[in-house]
Amino acid sequence: MRGRPCFLWGAANVVCPLCYSYLYLGTYMPDKPIALEDRKTDAQRLFSPSAARNRDPILDVLNLVLPASGAALEIASGTGEHIVHFAKRLPGWTFQPTEFDEASRQSVMAWIAHEGLTNVAPPVTLDAAKDVWSVESKAPFDAVLSLNMIHIAPWAAARGLFAGAGRVLRIDGVLFLYGPFKEAGEHNAPSNAAFDESLRARNPDWGVRDVVDLRKLADGAGLRLRTRHAMPANNQALVFVKT
């Protein structure tokens, strides 16, 4: 059982029981993993029960909003279970995973090998808050995926995510976000309000992000919000497009 380190700060994370996302808890200590889910391992592969729960609802929306083929970039790929699940069921797509943590990159590689996938590239290190991403030489992409990331990272990561998506997406390309969101300061469930409060108590620079603020970031990056989709556990999928 192992907590996935934060892709920005290399800090230990746990899985939130409300939204199945990862929480930063402090200095990363590989010999003292922390998790709120029973995460199993098999050689180098990591198993996340939360990924198993939400991968199909996410895939359902991807099937609605993505074309039959293209190239996708995933920011903070975690164990790799999401990306291999999508790659097996979207054979017309190629996928580029990214992950800051070395153990997680090894898990992504092990999942790719286990599934025998040829449409997933080896994972690379990427810091979303940086002004230049390590994958920009591979652009343009048709989609950028970010699942359960921006509420548990500094606001600089959200700014960097939108700016980076604006740089690497082709025209009409999709930025796909999944996680808890609020609208004009209003949460869509009491559990999300409590989760937001707990995040901000840990770090004032974290928190459930407001769609109003994300739209402003999108405007500055040449993106617009096209659709939003209600998801299990009071999460949402937000679909932005490059204009």
The pTM of the full predicted model, rounded to 2 decimals, is 0.85
The residue assigned the tokens 């559990």 is: 191
Instruction: Return the pLDDT at 96.
Output: 98
Among candidate residues 108, 53, 54, the one with its CA nearest the CA of residue 77: 108
CATH number of the domain enclosing 171: 3.40.50.150
Is 37 domain-assigned?
Answer: no
Would you tell me how many other CB atoms lie within 10 Å of the CB of residue 241?
Answer: 18
Three-state secondary structure of 143-160: EEEEECCHHHCCHHHHHH
pLDDT range class, residue 40, cuts 50, 70, 90: low
pLDDT range class, residue 100, cuts 50, 70, 90: confident
CA distance 62 to 88: 13
Which residues neighbour 137 within 8 Å (Cβ) at sequence distance 6 or greater? none
Rounded to the nearest integer, the mean pLDDT of the chain is 86
Residue 68 has pLDDT above 90, yes or no: yes
Is 187 domain-assigned?
Answer: yes
Residue 106 has pLDDT above 90, yes or no: yes
CA distance 24 to 12: 6
Is 212 domain-assigned?
Answer: yes
CA distance 105 to 78: 8
Is 4 domain-assigned?
Answer: no
Which residues neighbour 15 within 8 Å (Cβ) at sequence distance 6 or greater? 3, 21, 22, 23, 35, 36, 37, 39, 48, 50
Is 6 domain-assigned?
Answer: no
Task: Return the ∠ at Cα 180 (arms to 174 and 185), rounded to 5°.
Answer: 105
Q: Say how many domains are in the chain.
A: 1
Is 15 domain-assigned?
Answer: no
Is 195 domain-assigned?
Answer: yes
Q: Which domain holds residue 225?
A: 44-242
Is 63 domain-assigned?
Answer: yes
Residue 79 has pLDDT above 80, yes or no: yes
What is the per-residue DSSP string for 160-187?
A: HHHHHHHHHEEEEEEEEEEE-EEETTEE
